Structure 1
Amino acid sequence: MNAETDVKHKIIFLVEDNKADIRLIQEALKHSSFPHQVITVRDGMDAMSYLRQEGEYENALRPDLILLDLNLPKKDGREVLAEIKADPNLRRIPVVVLTTSRNEEDIFHSYDLHVNCYITKSRNLSELFQIVKGIEDFWLSIVTLPVE
C-alpha cells in the first residue's frame, strides 16, 4: 500500500442553518489538501439524530470533527453542544463552535460545556476561507484525534 491509500477520509460534520454559510464553508473546504467528506444538517434535532445514528441516520458515519453553529432551529447549538459533551459515545469528537455570535456569555458558556474551540465567523469572504483553512489544518492534519 502506498501512503495515499493509507489516508482515511476525514468526516467533517457541519451543523449550520444558513444556506449561504453552508455554501461558503463547503467551498472553502473544496481546496483541502486531504481526502474528506462534508456532511451537513441544518438544525439541532437532525444533528443529534445523526450523531446518535437514529431514524434516517442509522448508517451515519462518525465524524472526525464537528463544526457547530450556535443559533439553530428546533434545538440550538448550545443544547447540541451540551448533549454531545454529556454523551460518553460522542464527547471525544472535537467540536468547533463556528458562529457569528461575539457575545461573551456564549463564549463562556460554550467553554463551560467543554467546546474544543470557539471561532467567530467573518462576513469577509477571504477571511472566512482563511478561518476554515486554519480549522482544517489544525484539527485534521496537526492534531492527533482518537480513533473510535
Structure 2
Amino acid sequence: MSEKIILLVEDNQDDEELAVLAFERSRIANRMVVVRDGQEALDYFFGTAANGGRDAGVPPQLVLLDLKLPKVSGLEVLRRLRADPRTRRLPVVVLTSSKEEQDLLESYDCGANSYVRKPVEFARFAEAIQQLQMYWLVLNEQPSAGK
C-alpha cells in the first residue's frame, strides 16, 4: 500500500499550524502536504510546473480544503476537481471557519464529501481532525486511482 498523503489547502498560517499539530498528536503517520492558495492547489492536482514534477497520477488520500483562499477560491478548486475524471472521486472535506449557510450549500452542490467548521478551541479542533483522519484514512474505502 502506498503512503497516504493528506493535502491541506489553507492560507491561514495559524490554522495550518493547528492542523499539523493536531495530526501529529493523533499519532497516525501520514505525510501532510500544505498548499496555501487555490492556484497552488490546482497546480498540485494537475501536475503543472509549480510542483516540480510531482506525479499527478498519485493523488492524495484526503483533501482538506478551506473556502476563503487567495487567487482561486476553494469552491472553484472543488468545481475543477469534480469536473476532471482524474480527481472527481477524491475525498474532499471542506474545513472552514465560515458559518455562512450559502457556503455550506454551495460546497455540497459542488461535490464536497463533508463540511466541517473549524472549532476555535484547540482541543476541539484536534478532536475534529483526529475524527476526520480516522474516518477518511482508516475506515473509508476508496476506489483505486484511475478507476
Query: What aligned pairs does 1:99-118 form with structure 2 within 5 A after superposition?
Result: 99-118=96-115
Unmatched 5+ residue regions in structure 1? 1-6
Structure 2 match to 1:10: 4
State the distance in 1 between where 2:67 and 2:30 align.
24
1:45 matched to 2:39? The reply is yes
Unmatched 5+ residue regions in structure 2? none
* Identity in percent: 38
C-alpha change, 1:33 and 1:144, in structure 2 (3 Å) is: farther
**Contact 2:9 2:36 (8 Å CA) reproduced:** yes
1:54 matched to 2:48? The reply is yes
Question: Offset of 1:90 from its aligned partner?
Answer: 0.4
Question: Offset of 1:72 from its aligned partner?
Answer: 0.3
1:79 matched to 2:73? The reply is no
The list of structure 1 runs, each at least 4 consecutive aligned residues, that deviate by more than 3 angstroms after superposition, is none
State the distance in 1 between where 2:143 and 2:49 align.
26
SS in 2 for 1:92: coil
Question: Offset of 1:124 from its aligned partner?
Answer: 0.5
Residues paired across the two proteins, number: 142
SS in 2 for 1:31: helix
